A and B are shown apart, each in its own frame.
Chain A
């Protein structure tokens, strides 16, 4: 069994008095590509943000490599865990290279500048995302697909052991969706733990090792894709009947029609 990087136990998060997720138990493991699925507003993003310490938990605990986030410390966590927010964007028109180099911040003491090693790692991250040729461009001149690859390179420049990405393929064309999913697959195969929030269930089924289905603040299923993506769960959570086909090579999960949930 692969090593557990992050362990979420009995986590609850609320905004004010409204609970967003309740009593969630889940493990993120090294070398595994995990897909978080569920309808809008189910709490996927909240789980991801709470996992990297961006939200305060109302209850339960989160442990990174066996230590609580507080024991780990924000800098140590930042060196090991990269977070890629939904529709991540840059507020100033930095060059792509400068933007990717921001991923090296947690590794640099504040009084030092960039080392050649930092630059080498940033270029390697760009190269891993097929974006070396963009290094000198300004971020605002890039297309959506190029931008998402650069943002991924920024996260990889952290050299994380665990990568949490919120809807990384949303809004991309089919080619870029495939490329980004292949990238996550390759990262997981290289030993990094990868957790993504994803709405495309066919892509999730095809590339992920494990799916966690969240509905109404709770985890409904946590298993291999083929076991999670059955109509018993899907009808209940999405209110939609799906056509699923796992038997002919590439899995297909196709929404068919609305269905009544009793």
Chain B
């Protein structure tokens, strides 16, 4: 450990933060635009410029840009932002860099809700049945977790309750797969659970958007409690922080943003774990600043992963959740090794 208090370091630290946010905002905007330009159909810059300058373009190109790629890019921002933010909030609250958005069980519960609609065939009856099922699952999980670990319970109880809910929801999901009426139905459920942003419409955006925005707003309000919690629960309380209220905001915020994200996109792993950890050093480890940085970083990472998925596999599309897990798991390993060396 080198603790050097020279002036250049100071200057570097002060300049780094506005710089970081400029990079992140540019990154989100850039990835969003690229996301509109990339896809199997040959629709790119020219059509985009034509559309923006109100020149006539073919109806097909217009539909591809606005009805296919636009909702996909918007969901990339919403889902990625939710995951990054929820990861940062949970890590801050639990003061543990290994916490991730699925920790309190809402992802597993949302998956279960969606899989049940597939199993019962409800998903086929109307378009929004599947994401609605996911949201119902997430809401049920919040209800249970509030009963098990709400109020003044310990953080350990929150984690254990999350493990219990995740485990039970996964078991029921396996049961649904097990009892699938035919192999095609089972495959449909499997594919859905892998997580993807393809073939999503504006209806998905309208359904998940309000939940995600409300959840994100709640989580962004946690800046002060999370900063204070750096000094432990007693000191945070002595600084006038209402821990009970912070905990409720955390549970509701994670459930709404991550639950709705999982409901429309399936489970996308490792984004919420990796992003806060990558960005922490650039915000001087301040949990409040990390919330904003992680939300943007999560959006960038998810958009980039979703663009890569489209570029890598022209045939059967690689699922987004598979890609993030493929890249995320080795990173997780490195993270564990690094944390262990810090303990020693």
Contact = CB atoms under 8 A, between A and B. Distances in A.
A91 B232 contact: yes
B3 A102 contact: no
B231 interface: yes
B1 A92 contact: no
Nearest to B240: A78
A54 B239 contact: no
Contacts of A142: 3
A133 B231 CA distance: 21
A90 interface: yes
A251 interface: no
Given A136-B5, A137-B5, A138-B3, A92 B230 contact: yes
B170 interface: no
Contact of A98 (B95, B235, B284): B284
B224 interface: yes
A82 interface: yes
Interface in A129-164: 133-138, 140-142, 154, 158
A30 interface: no
A79 B238 CA distance: 9
A58 to B, nearest CB: 16
A79 B285 contact: no
Contacts, number: 87
- Chain B binding surface, main DSSP class: loop
Contacts of A54: 234, 237-238
A136 B10 contact: yes
A49 B234 contact: yes
B284 A102 contact: no
Contacts of B9: 136
B157 interface: no
Contacts of A134: 5
A94 B280 CA distance: 10
Given A140-B1, A141-B3, 12 more contacts: A74-B237, A89-B231, A90-B230, A92-B285, A94-B285, A102-B228, A103-B239, A105-B240, A136-B5, A137-B5, A142-B3, A158-B239
Interface of A: 49, 52-54, 74-75, 77-79, 81-85, 88-95, 98-99, 102-103, 105-106, 110, 133-138, 140-142, 154, 158
20 contacts: A49-B234, A54-B237, A74-B240, A77-B240, A82-B238, A88-B231, A88-B235, A90-B231, A91-B231, A92-B95, A98-B284, A102-B228, A102-B230, A105-B227, A134-B5, A136-B5, A137-B3, A138-B3, A141-B3, A142-B3
